Amino acid sequence: MKVETEYMKQALALARAAGKQGEVPVGAVLVANDGVLLAESGNMSISTNDPTGHAEIRVLRAAGRKLGNYRLPDSTLYVTLEPCSMCAGALVHARIARIIFGAVDSRAGACGSVFDLVRSARLNHQIEVAQGMLAEESEKLLKDFFIERR
């Protein structure tokens, strides 16, 4: 089984690829607790004209199709940017066990920075969260992307 930093490096590679395609550089990797890769993706909202084309949503859809189930318990999501409220809500519904993210999203993050949807006791499922893995690389990728776009 890969070490957790290797999964995050894989997510960073997906984010870089998304950025090269003109997408906001966010990458996500979903892994079962036994180390089996369930799905991976970068953002594709712009190229698909789909506001739900975030990397997190794309991996949930792919993993659901792969497993034939919309519930993905005992899985861990590695993502380069803290999930937004749309993605956090979908992750709760999918029953993801853990989220490990790199950069904090101080504008729209829903895993502890702006909102804490994934750990809300008001919902029927809570997700364990770890932040800051390869945060500097994740932040730099995003900053460089937006500097270049301006």
For residue 57, give the amino acid letter: I
Catalytic residue among 4, 6, 40, 56: 56
Instruction: Tell me if residue 56 is catalytic.
Output: yes
Q: How far apart are the first and last CA of the chain?
A: 41
**How many Å apart are CA 126 and CA 120, to the nearest integer?**
6
CA-to-CA distance for 50 and 73, rounded, in angstroms? 26
Beta-carbon contacts of residue 117 (< 8 Å; ≥ 6 apart): 85, 88, 89, 92, 110, 111, 123
Q: Among all residues, which ones are annotated catalytic?
A: 56
